Amino acid sequence: MNQTCRQCQSAFEIDNADLAFYEKVSPILNGKKELIPPPTLCPQCRSVRRMMWRNERSLYTKKCDLCGKNKVSAFTPDSPLHTYCHDCFFSDAWDGISYGRPVDFSVSFFENLSKLFLDTPIQILFQTGNNENCDYMNFAGVECKNCYLIFNSGHDEDCYYSRGLIESKDCMDMLIGSGNELCYECTNCSDNYHLLFSQNSAQCSTSAFLFNCRRCKHCFGCTNLVEKEYHLFNQPCTKEEFEDAMSHLRSHHYIVSTEEKMKQMRLDCIHRATNNINTESCTGDYIVESKNCTECYEAKGAEDCKWMTCSKLCKDSYDLFGFAYDSELLYECVGVGLSNTAAFSFTSSTISDSYYCLYCDNVKNCFGCVSLMHKEYCILNKQYTKEEYEELVPKIIEKMRADHEYGEFLPQSLSPFSYNETIAQEYFPSTKEAITEKSWRWSEYEAPLPHVEKIIKAQDLPDTINDTPDDILHWAIECEATKRPFKILKQELDFYRNLGISIPRLHPDERHRQRMKLRNPCTIWNRACAKCQNPIATSYAPDRTEIVYCESCYLETVY
């Protein structure tokens, strides 16, 4: 089935397997399946629409509307939404069912849901329980300790300024990885110890500036090495030469010059078509231990999934972003996990046979609900019997079909966030002019400046960590790229001194943006392997100059 995207007018295809999936995830009510129609947006436009609902990194200070305490918030202080801190949200002081209301068929169902969303308390940040001293993190899982500004992460300790970090300790400025310890400024790196300024490397130790390396130790400035020790810029070196190179990381100027050298080395070296590991019949990038996944990115332990990003241990699901852990039959969801048969839902856990639900926990057979917990057979937070529920929901769906709402994810107009607050800006960067032209929101909110004794320009900082005084903890540093001020934490300064590396000159948000730029876009192109000339599907666009090999040629050459 050939489709034309109603938003960008690009052509896309819906095949028989897709239609079978939509039927499988459709609700059954009174013995009749209410078929979910094929999507009207292309995969990329659907992805952007979902991402515009997920604000991970834009944090503010806002009062909890129940306890009145100032809390770290994903919502600006002037947001009209009612937001509760974690303890209040999961307390017995209130019940989402009290906000229930009947369906108003004189307006669209999305308008019904919008009014409920504006009235019902939601979480001020999305955090699960069992975290200790981790107030400044969002979309983070259980059992984190002493972490600061980490996002989409879990089971971490003493980690800072990172995203997608799992089961790691004493790490800072990381983007996507697991099982790391004492690592800094790494992108897509896992199971490493004391690895610095590296990308796409695993099981390496006491090394720096590695790219696509495996099981290496005491290596510096190397690409595509496997099981090597004491190498300097891909050449064997002595222990003394390696230690001398590492000792120079105390100098900011040396770090900058080495980064420039590594840019050229990355351009000149061989690149894998994708960064997929232990996969079978998968297309996309950064897929690990998965099977039969199509156009998926940052996925692990997935099977029979399509158009999914940043999700783990998910089966038989389409169009997802985030979480999806141990879930099956999810469709058009953001931050939904531990769930089965759910669609068009946002930031919910342990839900089943539920549709159009937001901030719900442990519910089943619910439709269009907000912040409900441990409920069943609810519509717009109003309790019904099973018979009443199965009689009313088909009438709602009939109305939604007439209004062209059924089968569509939550509209951007209902999202509480502006485009540049969300991960849409990270994966699909845009400008204020382009966004406002689409009638989407763009935030101009600026948080108050931190109280400091003085502001110092980044270029005026001491070059080496040895010359950096303790007094820097009382200064604000003006980012050399964005001019935004930022502060250095004591734990952070101790970390830099322990590793013997110069402090950063860029704001944490800019450092994250630079790491995101190192990664290829979530798009697959067709081009030829530079060695065997066989066709390959790769995240390197055909007009890029990198030398790209198919998996067989890459393994044959490097291993």
pLDDT at residue 450 tops 70: no
> How would residue 234 be classed by pLDDT, with cut points 50, 70 and 90?
very high
H or E segment and range at residue 362: strand 361-367
Percent of the chain scoring above 90 in pLDDT: 96
> Most distant CA pair in the chain: distance in Å?
78
Distance CA(97)–CA(425), nearest Å, equals 35
Torsion (CA) 394, 395, 398, 402 in degrees, nearest 10: -160
- Cα–Cα distance, 47 to 25 (Å, whole number): 19
Residue 262 · residue 250 · CB < 8 Å: no
Cα 302 to Cα 181: distance, rounded to the nearest angstrom: 26
Q: What is the pLDDT of residues 120-159, one digit of tens each?
A: 999 999 887 788 999 999 998 678 999 999 999 999 999 9
For 503-514, what is each residue's pLDDT tens digit?
A: 999 999 999 999
3-state secondary structure 263-307: HHHHHHCEEECCCCECCEEEEEEEEECCEEEEEEEEEECCEEEEE
CA distance 357 to 396: 15
CB 134, CB 144: distance < 8 Å:
yes
Task: Note the pTM of the prediction, 2 decimals.
Answer: 0.94
Query: Averaged over 450-463, what is the pLDDT?
Result: 88
Q: Dump pLDDT digits (tens) for 515-533.
A: 999 999 999 999 999 999 9
Count, in order, helices (H) and strands (E) of the chain: 12, 36
In this prediction, residues 181-196 reach a mean pLDDT of 98
